[in-house]
Every structure is written in structure tokens, then in C-alpha cells.
Structure 1
């Protein structure tokens, strides 16, 4: 009788990395294709009636997506992997790539390094954050203070960014 395979920490980390990598690629492709198809339909029909189609239409014409299109026009395909290192902006870049009909092969190849970086970050440092979060929920005051300090830093950084834009 053979022994059952044992799963070590390295195997689990690799599995988690692969799961996150595939998820990042799938999400990027979904946003790209949604924006591409909806843009084609909107261009053919104009503004739709009330409902989800109008909300998507307005989102595609929002300032955020327009900023993504301008950035993509300025920087080209290298913006796609860089966008994976941002929060919020990555969806705008992915949608903009679909809207401007970036070639599928170019977009997909540009996604790979971004998805790898995203998966590495979330399978290492990202899970350290969640570990701190759950430890804080269990009442450990050190982790609670670190978590609150981290949230405070994010809030301050977001407010400073908004003030610079305004």
C-alpha cells in the first residue's frame, strides 16, 4: 500500500498562488470582454433605457473610465501590468483596453506579469493583513492597534490623493 501524499506549506503556497493567478487573469479577461462587447453595442444603439444597461453605459462614460482610456492611450500596453499594482484603477484600465479594442493577444500577454505580481502580493503580504485582521478580531490588542494604524494610513493616503486631484 502506498502512503497518501503529504501537503507541505510550499505546496499550499503554490496552490494558493496558482488559484490567485488564474483568478486575476479571469477577472481581467471578463472586464476586458464586458467592456468591449458593451461598448460595441452602445456605439450601435446609443444610450439605453432605464436599468442595468444604462448604469453600465454611464459607467463606461464616467470620468474614471475616461482617465483609464487617456492613460492607456498615453502609456500603451505597459500600463496593463502596472495597473495590477493599483487599487481601483486596474478595473478602469482593463475596461479601457476593451473599449479601445486593444488586440486580445497583446492584452493577454500584458496581463501575465501583472497577474503574477498581484498573485504574489496577495498570497504573501495580503494574507499577512488578513492574519492580523482575524487576530485583532480575537481580541489581541497589539494586532488591533496595528490594524487600526494600517487603516488610518490608508485613509490619510486616500484623502491626500483626493486633495491633490481637486
Structure 2
């Protein structure tokens, strides 16, 4: 972490860690997806880095991630952000399986939020210690995971709600502006009043 973030408040820390994990995870997903496509399409050149990535994806770690997603489905994506050494494996497997991006992105964002909350508050070491202490009880692990995911969901909900409020405010400001057709109608009505003949005496 940069020295200028020492002693920073929650939101700068959260934004910093969120940006790092977001771009890293997106790169993992897309590299795995593209390399898998290239490997299936033999007409494309097999560059050395493509072969290395493909070999990793076909290795034990990559296949373990594929099996995890096949077993647990979409929920494996956000949960992968709560343990060490699982983000790359699971998100890479999501790319290998070409998980639809419209489904993958919300799950990945929830995981990024949970991951950033942990780093910006108690820190990763403290989180792992708490997770290790809870490993003796499945209920303890479930409680920790639910707490972090609930916090992440609350932040996502707050951001979405704030955006909706801004959109509502912008719409209200737009509605308050006078429509030129209304001006023309009122002007025409005023002219009709002026031009109306007086009744005979």
C-alpha cells in the first residue's frame, strides 16, 4: 500500500483496494477467456505467453477452479474473494467456461466490494485469523461470510440508490423547465383575448 494512504479514512482505502482487485480480476477473466478461445481456434498464432497461460488453465489449479464453478455455480465467484489463492483460480475458471459476462459482472463486483471492505477495515491478516478461528465450526465460517457479503450488498445498494436519486433530481429539473409549446399556447391565448370583439352596447 502506498505511504500516502497511511492513516487514510475508509473511503480512500476502499477505493484504492477496489480499483486494484477490480482490474486484476477483470484481466484474469478476460485473459483466460481469450486464451481458451484462441486455443480452440487453431488458426490463430500460438504465442509463447498464450501457451503458458493455456498450460496453467489446463493444470491442476485451473481445473480445480472449473470443477468448483461447475459444482457451486455463480456463488463461487464472490466467495473466491474471501480466501487466499482462490480469486485467480475461480475467476480464471469463469473465463475458461465463458460464463456470461452479464451474470459474472455483478457477482464479481460483490466479491470486489467484500474484498475491499476487509482490506480497508480490519486488514487481510486479521480476516484470515478470524477465518482460521472459525474453521472449527461451519456456522462460524458461514457467519463471517454472510457478514462480509451483507456489508458488500449494503454498499452496492447505497451506491445504486444514490445514482437513482441523482437521476430523479435531474429528471425533476428537466420537467421544471418551460416547454416552448406551452409558451406559444399561452401567447396565442392572450392574443385571442385581446382580439376578441366587444359586445354591442
Deviation at 1:50, TM superposition (A): 7.8
Task: Map Cα deviations across residues 127-156 of structure 1 (whole Å, 9 max, x no partner).
Answer: 787xxxxxxxxxxxxxxxxxxxx8xx9xxx
Q: 1:55 aligns with which of 43, 46, 52?
A: 52
Q: What CA distance in whole angstroms lies between the structure 2 residues aligned with 1:74 and 1:98?
A: 16
- Residue in structure 2 matched with residue 34 of structure 1 by the alignment: 31
Indicate the residue corresponding to 1:121 in structure 2. Answer: 118
Q: Is residue 2:39 matched to residue 1:69?
A: no
CA deviations 1:37-72 (Å, max 9, x no partner) are 0100011129x8683232112101111110100110
Higher alpha-carbon Rg: 2
Q: CA RMSD in A?
A: 2.6
With over 3 angstroms needed to count, the CA separation of the structure-2 counterparts of 1:18 and 1:66, relative to structure 1, is same
Q: Pick 1 or 2: higher relative contact order, CA cutoff 8 A, min separation 6.
A: 1
Q: Please give the TM-score of this superposition, normalised by the length of structure 1.
A: 0.65
Q: Please tell me whether residue 78 in structure 1 is matched to residue 75 in structure 2.
A: yes
1:34 is displaced (CA, Å) by 0.5
* Unpaired stretches in structure 2, ≥5 consecutive residues: 1-6, 133-201
**C-alpha separation in 1, matches of 2:46 and 2:28:** 22
State TM-score, norm by structure 2: 0.54
Equivalent residue pairs, number: 122
